[in-house]
Structure 1
Amino acid sequence: MKFKSLQPILWTENLDETINFYLHILEFSLNERNDDWQWASLQKDGIQMIISKPNQHERLNRIYFSGSFYFNVENVDEVWENLKTKANICYEIETFEWGMREFAIYDNSGYILQFAQPASEISREE
């Protein structure tokens, strides 16, 4: 059994607002959009995701996802400087005892997006 990739589908009640958040705040690119189906495919570097309004069998009364999305990035401090005034902060940048330097924001739908880099890589960059 071989897994090739993971592509999350994020449900939203406001497709335009969510697409705009990922395009303008996180600088994703729009691969494809289908307004009849109420979904869009987005990409940034090696990350792909789908934004979708729930269909008839996916009733959305509230967000049911009970986790977060953990982005491994290059130069997490630069990413922090870019996002800290553009997004709603979950927690500020910090180097944690498990060896990761990270921070988290909320997207427009309330999903938690964490951005991290191994602290050992940061020491080598400086």
Structure 2
Amino acid sequence: MLYTLRVKESVDFYVSNLGFTCVGFDEDWGWATVNRDDIEIMIALPNEHETFTVPKFTGSFYIRTNNVDEIWNELKEKAVICYPIENFSYGMREFAVFDNNAYILQFGTPLD
């Protein structure tokens, strides 16, 4: 679940820039679900009982895929790059982008 004050804008970003499909949206609830392949992400207004001004997740979301190069070629011009595609010594080929809320999305595949 990704919290944001801009649910509709976030859905539009995931659909237009990252190739997801919106499979659920309820403006009254301040909630949506987007998916791509086997990935499903819920986007929602923050819990009203919490103080929220900006996203405060301190990590990244790691998405393992078998087609990291194809996804890189698709997304590299449509999102802000955190780091470009690269082979890492720990055995992964990966890259990372920022979404419109500054959440980091990493995409990677194991090296053969």
Pick the TM interval, shorter chain.
over 0.9
Which residue, out of 66, 72, 82, partners 1:74? 66
Runs of 5+ unmatched residues, structure 1: 1-8, 121-126
Give the TM-score, by structure 2 length.
0.93
Q: 1:82-113 CA distances to partner (integer Å, 9 max, x unpaired)?
A: 11111000001100001100000000000000
* Root mean square deviation of aligned Cα: 1.1
Is the radius of gyration larger for structure 1 or structure 2? Answer: 1
Aligned partner (choices 54, 64, 69) of residue 46 of structure 2: 54
What displacement does 1:64 show?
1.4
Aligned to 1:26: 18
Letter in 2 for 1:16: K
Deviation at 1:68, TM superposition (A): 0.3
TM-score by length of 1: 0.84
Code of the residue aligned with 2:14 in structure 1: it is Y
Q: Which residue of 2 aligns with 1:86?
A: 78
Structure 1 residue identity aligned to 2:53: N
The unaligned stretches of length 5 or more in structure 2 are: none
Instruction: Tell me which residue corresponds to 1:103.
Output: 95
**Residue 59 of structure 1, CA deviation:** 2.5
Over residues 13-58 of structure 1, what are the superposed CA-to-partner deviations in whole Å (9 max), with x where a residue is unaligned? 1112100111111221212111111111122222212101113113
- Moved beyond 2 Å, runs of 4+: none
Q: Once the two structures are aligned, what percentage of the paired residues are identical?
A: 46
1:72 aligned partner, one-letter code:
R
Distance 1:34 1:77 in 2: 34
Q: Secondary structure at the match of 1:94?
A: strand
